[in-house]
């Protein structure tokens, strides 16, 4: 792994504070990344404490294996597999969503339109289809839907048609620069300071990695693995993610009544919403990539029998 690709962990201290760490507890870092949160958690845990980390990126796994600590373990898988862990086994679950700086800054990963590289974008390069492979065969209608729904791109139809024209005239897109050029030709206006390809690259990355579907599964799984009083801490970086997290917490933070049995006692709420935190002005000034981050915190209230 190239050491020049530096990752600055967003909301580092705030996230650890939100977990309300019990030094003897078991915690799950569901998105290890480059280990900023994990290392700080380990510095607080006692000899009896444990930390389980999860990540599907091979570079993240390599970084995790540099941590020589018997209290720490790493699992190479997506965090949707969180539910495979024992019920009520965790005092806290942390999810830091999105893409890490080393993933963006490494051209070989194909996440960025700013540097030319293979059009890949897979978090786990050992499985699944690359963006290039998908774009080679996807219909105009399907491309439009993906770019519109996952990128919130109003020019999705024009971009999809431009991709189709490009592959008919010159063959399938192979590099990030080729895709960025096609998008720039199709998008005639854009917000000041924003590259025309931003929304399309976001959309394709989210889609190819099934990020929103995996997030939904991981949030549901967190209800199973959290102990009563355990904390759920989720950091998101765009509105689609944050909307899912907000609605999930809100939906489980109220009593549920069965309309078929109006006189029955309601099902107790499963979470208590504890707040929403944004990076400080100082953090944003030092790390501009943190500006869109939103951290939501909730506490597990009870566990079903």
Where is pLDDT greater, at 56 or 103?
A: 56
The three state secondary structure string of 101-128 is HHHHHCHHHCCCCCCCCECCCCCCCCCC
- Please state which of the ranges 125-139, 164-178, 291-305 shows the lowest mean pLDDT: 291-305
Catalogue all structural domains in the chain, each as residue range(s) with its CATH number.
Answer: 12-102+211-300 (3.40.50.150), 126-208 (1.10.150.170)
Host H or E run for residue 299 = strand 294-300
Look at residue 269 in the predicted model and tell me its pLDDT. Answer: 81
Mean confidence (pLDDT) of the chain: 91
Report how far residue 202's alpha carbon sits from residue 278's, in angstroms, rounded to the nearest whole number: 21
| pLDDT greater than 70 at residue 255 | no
pLDDT-derived band at 7, boundaries 50, 70, 90: low
Look at residue 6 in the predicted model and tell me its pLDDT. Answer: 57
Look at residue 263 in the predicted model and tell me its pLDDT. Answer: 54
Look at residue 3 in the predicted model and tell me its pLDDT. Answer: 46
| pLDDT greater than 70 at residue 266 | no
Report how far residue 305's alpha carbon sits from residue 296's, in angstroms, rounded to the nearest whole number: 27
| pLDDT greater than 90 at residue 1 | no
> Would you state the torsion angle of the CA atoms of residues 223, 225, 231, 232, taken in this order, to the nearest 10 degrees?
-60
* Pair 15, 295: CB distance under 8 Å: yes
Report how far residue 115's alpha carbon sits from residue 226's, in angstroms, rounded to the nearest whole number: 41
Report how far residue 103's alpha carbon sits from residue 144's, in angstroms, rounded to the nearest whole number: 26
pLDDT-derived band at 98, boundaries 50, 70, 90: confident
Nearest residue to 31 (alpha-carbon basis) of 206, 233, 210: 233
CA 26 from centre of chain? 22
* Pair 55, 33: CB distance under 8 Å: yes
| pLDDT greater than 90 at residue 299 | yes
Give mean pLDDT, residues 29-47: 96
pLDDT-derived band at 304, boundaries 50, 70, 90: low
- Please state which of the ranges 42-51, 82-91, 139-148, 263-272 shows the lowest mean pLDDT: 263-272
Helix 156-170 vs helix 176-186: crossing angle, to nearest 10? 130
- Please state which of the ranges 135-144, 220-229, 234-243, 296-305 shows the lowest mean pLDDT: 296-305
Look at residue 185 in the predicted model and tell me its pLDDT. Answer: 94
Where is pLDDT greater, at 4 or 105?
A: 105
Look at residue 41 in the predicted model and tell me its pLDDT. Answer: 97
pLDDT-derived band at 261, boundaries 50, 70, 90: low
Look at residue 103 in the predicted model and tell me its pLDDT. Answer: 79
| pLDDT greater than 50 at residue 2 | no
**pLDDT per position as a tens digit, 170-220:** 999 999 999 999 999 999 777 777 889 999 999 999 999 999 999 999 999
- Please state which of the ranges 2-6, 234-238, 276-280 shows the lowest mean pLDDT: 2-6
**In 10 A of CB 202, how many CB atoms?**
22
pLDDT-derived band at 108, boundaries 50, 70, 90: confident
- DSSP characters for 12-79? HHHHHHHHT--TT-EEEES--TTSHHHHHHHHH--TT-EEEEEE--HHHHHHHTT---TTEEEEES-G
Report how far residue 236's alpha carbon sits from residue 245's, in angstroms, rounded to the nearest whole number: 8
User: From residue 56, how far is each of 40, 118, 300 by CA, in Å?
Assistant: 21, 19, 26
Where is pLDDT greater, at 216 or 8?
A: 216
What size, in residues, is the chain?
305
């Amino acid at each position: 792994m190239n050491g020049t690709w530096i990752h600055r962990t967003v909301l580092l201290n705030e996230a650890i504070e939100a977990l309300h760490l019990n030094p003897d507890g078991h915690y799950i870092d569901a998105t290890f990344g480059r280990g900023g949160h994990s290392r700080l958690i380990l510095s607080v845990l006692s000899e009896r404490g444990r930390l389980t980390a999860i990540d599907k990126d091979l570079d993240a796994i390599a970084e995790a294996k540099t941590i020589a600590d018997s209290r720490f373990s790493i699992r190479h898988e997506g965090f949707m597999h969180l539910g495979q862990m024992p019920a009520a086994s965790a005092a806290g679950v942390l999810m830091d969503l999105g893409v890490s700086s080393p993933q963006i800054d490494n051209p070989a990963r194909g996440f960025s339109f700013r540097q030319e590289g293979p059009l890949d974008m897979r978090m786990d390069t050992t499985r699944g289809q690359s963006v290039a492979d998908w774009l080679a065969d996807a219909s105009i209608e399907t491309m439009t839907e993906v770019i519109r729904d996952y990128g919130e791109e109003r020019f999705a139809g024009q971009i999809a048609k431009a991709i189709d024209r490009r592959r008919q005239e010159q063959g399938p897109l192979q590099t990030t620069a080729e895709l960025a050029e096609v998008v720039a030709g199709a998008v005639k206006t854009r917000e000041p300071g924003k590259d025309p390809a931003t929304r399309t690259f976001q959309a394709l990355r989210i889609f190819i990695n099934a990020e929103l579907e995996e997030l939904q599964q991981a949030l549901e799984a967190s209800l199973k693995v959290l102990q009563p009083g355990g904390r759920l801490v989720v950091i998101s970086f765009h509105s689609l993610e944050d909307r899912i997290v907000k609605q999930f917490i809100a939906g489980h933070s109220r009593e549920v009544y069965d309309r078929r049995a109006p006189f029955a006692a309601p099902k107790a709420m499963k979470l208590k919403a504890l707040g929403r935190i944004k990076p400080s002005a100082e953090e944003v000034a030092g790390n501009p990539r943190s500006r869109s981050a939103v951290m939501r915190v909730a506490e597990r209230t009870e566990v079903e029998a």
